[in-house]
Amino acid sequence: MKKKPVVIGIAGGSGSGKTSVTKKIHEVFQGHSVVVIEQDDYYRDQSHLVFEERLQTNYDHPLAFDTDLLIRHIEELLDRKPIQKPTYDYTIHTRSAETITVESQDVIILEGILVLEDERLRNLMDIKLFVDTDSDIRIIRRILRDINDRGRTVDSVVEQYLSVVRPMHNQFIEPTKKYANIIIPEGGENAVAIDLMVTKIKTILASEEEV
């Protein structure tokens, strides 16, 4: 009987370094089968709304996500079943018609700003991480990312940060820190914390193999 996959949840604010931490784990476990599930792919389908209404979407609010579908997919991966993962098209602000087949793996990394917000999702995780980075660092990273990768202006990024991102972080994301087993300050730069976490994951995988 094949061992049960290990589920790792990685949360933290926008620009905190979640992706860097995820990449570091992925690199360490190249010998194992690893799959990364990004919460951003599970934004709700908005095809029933006109484009102008879609532009008003608050992507930093828990209700922006189809959490029920995400939970169902994690449960299916835990049962060693493949899933049809949705994709999101930011140019039209709704879910794409395309899905991606994802096979179950030994390690399932679930990354997103609010992956620790829903108790049902937390209960599926073996390890819960929160990447904790100062707000000034996060806003600088977000400005650079949105300008370089998404063609945004400084003014639009700052306005969105002050009106939506910051209040949503304080209301919904920051409080989920208390659910984390491990808090990683400064994200991917914290080699010691990542090494400790990797050791824990290896221990879990080894114990599963002995069953």
Structure tokens at 204: 């879990």
Angle between helices 191-210 and 18-28 (to 10 degrees): 50
Q: Per-residue pLDDT tens for 110-134? A: 999 999 999 999 999 999 999 998 8
Strand partners, 11: 130
Strands 94-102 and 83-89: antiparallel
> Is a pLDDT exceeding 80 seen at residue 210?
no
Q: Per-residue pLDDT tens for 130-147? A: 999 888 888 888 888 888
Q: What is the pLDDT of residue 190?
A: 82
Asked whether the beta carbons of 83 and 62 are under 8 A apart, the reply is no
Query: Cα–Cα distance between 209 and 161 in angstroms, integer?
Result: 45
